[in-house]
């Protein structure tokens, strides 16, 4: 019960602490950045892999199958699938696979007997899934991803690791917007982690890479030059706080901390005193119980005697002998 007043005091003083300067906590928020965009892009890869595999109905090796019946939320995106033997792909390569030219020496790891190359053309949705700050797309984002082709009904497959040891994979873009005057077009390659890598565009709007991923051609965005500002009269320099005001502020802060320290110290002392009172009370009760138990153990035990069919305690010795008040002789 002694703790109840201290708890009430603490509940009353907590709002007071929050109102003091420098004591109230400030809440912070963090922005997700580009992690959510990468997650959406990876989810799109998994979804397009399923639609590409559905197009492989009794497939023939080396035939391109275009995925159809995509949902309305994927309108503008093109998907295709190409099933090849790993050994044949390594010896011969494959040209052309839409905008891609796959050279000889392409190896997939881990090794599988058959693999499927999934083609993606994100079209007008390129900037949504692969946004680039300060850059403008001149061509749609094209994707080339390799999967295990042994089970065509599988979903949520992980991509195989591709190593083009015989030469780079070429991406020849067809419909490319004109480059603005004074700008330089760049190839951009997005790896499976969403990182962007830039390189020079070769002849005929061609980009090259030794890895799988997503590719496009971009140009640096040019922001319009700001209009010249009209001259404005120079404003007088702002004066800082005077030394007297600074000294007064420091004194006020010192007083606040003294008050806070005193209140906190008083609360701690009150809690300690309450705990000490509780301990003393329990100690006295325990001591009294020990004395009562000791007195009970020192008492004289009574013997049991039989009275008929019943047993009852009886004293062994009578302390005082009965005497008659009047004795009459015969």
Domain boundaries, the chain: 40-220
pLDDT range class, residue 127, cuts 50, 70, 90: very high
Average pLDDT over residues 30-49: 79
- Say whether domain 40-220 belongs to CATH 3.40.50.1700: no
At 292 the pLDDT is 80
- Measured from the Cβ of residue 224, the count of other Cβ atoms closer than 10 Å reads 5
Residues 22-35 pLDDT 10s: 333 333 333 333 68
C-alpha neighbours within 13 Å on the C-beta side of residue 320: 3
Q: Which of 7, 164, 175, 161 is nearest to 78 (CA)?
A: 175
At 212 the pLDDT is 95
Q: Which of 231, 204, 82 is nearest to 145 (CA)?
A: 82
pLDDT range class, residue 8, cuts 50, 70, 90: very low
User: d(Cα 38, Cα 44) in Å, to the nearest integer?
Assistant: 10
Residues 172-187 pLDDT 10s: 999 899 999 989 999 9
Q: Is the pLDDT of residue 188 over 90?
A: yes
pTM (2 d.p.): 0.58
Contact between 223 and 182 under an 8 Å Cβ cutoff? The reply is no
Name the residue with higher pLDDT: 16 or 190.
190
Contact between 219 and 135 under an 8 Å Cβ cutoff? The reply is yes
At 323 the pLDDT is 61
pLDDT range class, residue 122, cuts 50, 70, 90: very high
Minimum mean pLDDT among 232-241, 272-281, 301-310: which range?
A: 232-241
Q: E strand or H helix at 311, and its extent?
A: strand 310-314
pLDDT range class, residue 155, cuts 50, 70, 90: confident
Name the residue with higher pLDDT: 246 or 160.
160
Q: Is the pLDDT of residue 260 over 60?
A: yes
Residues 302-329 pLDDT 10s: 567 777 667 666 665 555 666 656 555 5
pLDDT range class, residue 252, cuts 50, 70, 90: confident
């Amino acid at each position: 019960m002694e703790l109840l007043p201290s708890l009430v005091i603490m509940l009353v003083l907590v709002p007071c602490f929050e109102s003091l300067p420098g004591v109230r906590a400030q809440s912070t928020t963090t922005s997700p950045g580009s992690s959510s965009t990468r997650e959406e892009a990876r989810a799109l890869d998994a979804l397009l892999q399923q639609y590409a595999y559905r197009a492989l109905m009794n497939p023939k090796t080396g035939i391109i199958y275009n995925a159809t019946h995509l949902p309305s939320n994927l309108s503008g995106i093109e998907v295709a699938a190409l099933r090849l033997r790993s050994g044949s792909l390594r010896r011969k390569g494959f040209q052309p696979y839409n905008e891609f030219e796959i050279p000889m020496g392409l190896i997939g790891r881990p090794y599988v007997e058959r693999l499927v190359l999934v083609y993606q053309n994100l079209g007008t949705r390129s900037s949504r899934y692969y946004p680039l700050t300060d850059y403008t797309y001149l061509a749609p984002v094209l994707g080339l991803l390799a999967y295990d082709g042994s089970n065509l009904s599988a979903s949520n497959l992980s991509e195989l690791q591709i190593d083009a040891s015989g030469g780079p994979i070429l991406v020849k873009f067809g419909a490319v917007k004109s480059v603005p005057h004074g700008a330089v077009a760049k190839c951009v390659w997005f790896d499976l982690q969403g990182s962007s890598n830039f390189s020079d565009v070769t002849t005929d709007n061609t980009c090259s890479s030794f890895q799988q991923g997503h590719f496009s051609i971009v140009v640096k965005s040019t922001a319009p030059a700001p209009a010249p500002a009209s001259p404005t009269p120079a404003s007088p320099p702002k004066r800082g706080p005077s030394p007297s005001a600074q000294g007064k502020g420091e004194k006020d802060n010192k007083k606040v901390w003294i008050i806070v320290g005193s209140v906190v110290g008083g609360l701690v002392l009150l809690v300690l005193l309450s705990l000490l009172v509780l301990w003393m009370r329990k100690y006295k009760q325990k001591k009294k119980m020990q004395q009562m138990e000791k007195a009970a153990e020192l008492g004289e035990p009574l013997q049991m005697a039989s009275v008929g069919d019943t047993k009852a305690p009886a004293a062994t010795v009578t302390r005082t002998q009965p005497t008659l008040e009047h004795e009459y002789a015969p």
